Amino acid sequence: MEENTFVSLFLSLVLLQLCIKSQSQLVPALHIFGDSAVDVGNSIYLNTSFRADFAPYGIDFVVGQTGRFSNGVSITDVLGTALGVDLAYPIVNGTNTINFLYNKNQAFNYAYGTAGILPETGEATGETLSLGQQVGLFKQTVEIYLPQQFKSSQEISRYISNSLFVVFTGSNDYIHNYLQPSQYNSSRQYNDEKFADLLVTEYGNQLSELHTLGARRMVVFEIPPLGCYPIVLERIKSNTRCVENVNNMVTIFNDKLGAKVKELSSTLKDTTIILAKTYELVYDMINNSSTYGLEEAAKPCCVVGKDGSGLCVPEKTPCEKRNTTLFWDQAHISEAANTIIAVKAFNGSGLSTPANIVDAIKSAKSTPTAHNGTGPNSVSYLNILLVLAFFVVLSYL
């Protein structure tokens, strides 16, 4: 059987498990905020040129094109599988309001393609939903949707406090803002340090707002080494493996983000914030790709257009060995890379601090939940084994 076909069939089994209502899920729900790395189709419903609802996107996803900026699953899709929550669907309905059609025991996805921490980030491509706007949509969820699902405010509070909140943002504030001086003024207004300060301050404000709304378990992902991404190399016309001055900008941001997470962890009551250090992992995947079962760590798998977006050309056939390629298009990593990162964040060592996701959930002070009467100790090992098995399959193909 062809390698990609085998991986697709196996992944279909993983996602089938994700779609089945778990009787022993780790958290009542997963709430996802961020950009195109974790967008599942919200971009489709807004007026933007930056979207992924066409082939070859989704070529390896169980239901095809959904608006995910990948050939298959995202990092949060894999996390959702392991956590035992239902499949994530777009949360917006085209009017910047919540689409309240889904099961409360699922992944609620607020992420949007070109979104950033700053409101103006990504506006050059059309409508966008900044991190603050996404948190605003979650506030609608708390105030409008959840009261329809639970009998009391106490039940809602338990539900939110035991849910997991994942935030993956910041990349676009560089790619679709700071590094585009012809369209944005930020690089003329701020040096690298001050811009990172601006971003991290606003980031911290939104994490604090999530806490105010009831969030007590959060996972925050670092920005990956953007200076090694094909979209940056193409724009700068660099012949090197990475543009280190761009990576230095990102490192400044990540260092400040780490300090902010540490600060909030100590000041926000009863809150666990996990920092997923994706920068070093992705950098290592680029420079030591064979260690991760990857054969191509520089070129994108799909055919990319010349419009500067870094996205795939519609309907063009991508590379065959998608399961051994790091980059899917010029701006996004592949399903294979997403899975490696997600598994390491979930129950691996060295990526997440102060603990991986499953250990943090188990050790967190738990209150009675409203999801099937189960708690962290009744983890669905089938979910975890499916994800781990997929990781093993990738490493041997």
Count Cβ atoms within 10 A of the Cβ of residue 321 and give its class: 0-12 exposed, 13-18 middle, 19 or more buried: middle
Report how far apart, in Å, the C-alpha atoms of 3 and of each of 10, 244, 299, 340, 343 are. 11, 35, 20, 18, 21
Q: Which element (helix H / strand E) includes 218?
A: strand 217-221
Supply the residues annotated as catalytic: 36, 329, 332
Nearest CA to 53 out of 77, 35, 36 is that of 36
Answer yes or no: are the C-beta atoms of 331 and 229 closer than 8 Å.
yes
Which two tokens mark 280? 């070093």
CA dist., res. 266 & res. 269, Å (int): 8
Nearest CA to 357 out of 386, 379, 324 is that of 379
CA dist., res. 386 & res. 380, Å (int): 10
CA dist., res. 119 & res. 128, Å (int): 8
Q: Is the peptide bond before 56 cis (omega within 30 degrees of 0)?
A: yes
Q: Which element (helix H / strand E) includes 249?
A: helix 244-267
CA dihedral 4, 6, 10, 11 (to 10 degrees): 10
CA dist., res. 241 & res. 233, Å (int): 8
Q: How are strands ordered across the β-sheet holding 106-109?
A: 86-90, 106-109, 30-34, 164-168, 217-221, 272-276, 352-353
The torsion angles phi and psi of 334, rounded to 5 degrees, stand at -85, 170
**Which amino acid belongs to residue 73?**
V
